[in-house]
Structure 1
Amino acid sequence: MNHELLEDSAWRGPLMLAMQRAILAEFNSTDWHELGYLTGFHDYIRGHARLLRSLGFGDDDYGSCVFQVLEHFASNDIRALVAVIDHLKVRPNLEREQPAKLIELGYQAGHVPAVLPTVSASEVVRRALADADHLLLTSGAPSAIDRLHTAMHGYLKSACQDGAIAVPESATLTQAYKALRAQHPALQSLGEHDSEIGRILGSFASVLDALNTLRNHGSVAHPNENIVERAEGELVVNAVRTIFHYLSQKIRS
């Protein structure tokens, strides 16, 4: 981690703005208390004249209060700012909005942005995606495979249900995807390059079939001796995230 960049107020400006936006959209009072204990600034957060009060009452000055806290972190302990960057409710937004800044800081390049569940996503899907992001940050990509499998499986079955596409309750990941691909109206017309895009979507079925196998025999979902290697695990995570992003954009489910 290149702390010198974070200490440069001009360089960190766009990153601070992205962090503030993520916090405004995602944080609740519990998140603030947890962050306070994690960074050693709990007394500051709890004693802030307006932060938690503005959050609780939805006051207009809450956004300014968030900036005050971030600047306090930057001025007093840059490690606290790093903790904000790494927070599960902040990092996915930064990967999407400021990927170049993260790379400059020393975060690994090449990750497909994290998946942000839509409003209609089930609690199972939301929790599995959050768990996968946490495991990716703390334990590495191989540990995230099981939770991504659960999230994708739940998402596909939910999308079929929302689209009135009949699939058995016991439908596998691959079966649910094939049914969605074959029957959902949004996936029938793929633009002027329908044939080539169709080939890519067909290859997604192979990716998900391989995900099934890797989840059962190459992940920590079961007591497997031969866990997929880190680079290959990141390949799996990126592939599944790509499928998620495409489907959620096309079918808005």
Structure 2
Amino acid sequence: MPDSTTSTAGPAAASVLPAGAAGAVEAALHARRSVRAFLPQPVEPALVERLLAAAARAPSGTNMQPWRVHVVTGAARDRLCDALVEAHLAGQGEADPDYAYYPPQFFEPYLSRRRKLGWDLYGLLGIGKGDKERMRQQHGRNFRFFDAPVGMIMTIDRRLEIGSWLDYGMFLQGLATAAVAHGLGTCPQAAFAEHHRTIRRLLPIGEGEVVVCGMALGYPDWNAPENRLVTERVPVADFTTFHTD
């Protein structure tokens, strides 16, 4: 597990939250959701940098800090999105992912959870069972970052092991939670790993880096039906065992 020690000493009080902050942190954690529709309102570059700096406080084994982030906005974002949508519509990428995100065959309880998420989302969007074309179009919206003005492509050095991937997850969680505190929304997007070759053509990402995921960042459009989706979580008792003796 990540080493909680630090190499630079600082004031002890720096790790103590101000009064009342615990509730705000918990509220941000509970409020975070995957946002799939954004307003065109831009996000100030200084705020993006601030969020990344906060997320970078995530723990990592021996302070390795394995995360690498490519932020795309403006014309750079549009060029990337256009190329990715074209590749998606051409059916490219799905057979050549940069890594296996999911198991080759789903099993319970994960299969049921996955199916419920899909049908809950499609139900809000009015996509019926068997409407493969609309499902394909909705999946393709990933590659426009769901219209978010800021897109991020996350990569990691291919030589690193699973421990660094665990650290990366904590970085992503920190980024998503910090965004909520500023009225922003995010959507972590594993779909980008399918199209890593297209991404490499447009961004300076070598074969020595794995495309982990993308992340959309922006101000949520709360009038969009897909943003009414609130996913369920199993109770703590279902995944936790307390040992006292």
Alignment TM-score, normalising by the size of structure 2:
0.26
Higher relative contact order (CA 8 A, sep 6+): 2
- Higher helix proportion (structure 1 or 2): 1
Alignment TM-score, normalising by the size of structure 1:
0.25
Q: Which has the larger radius of gyration?
A: 1
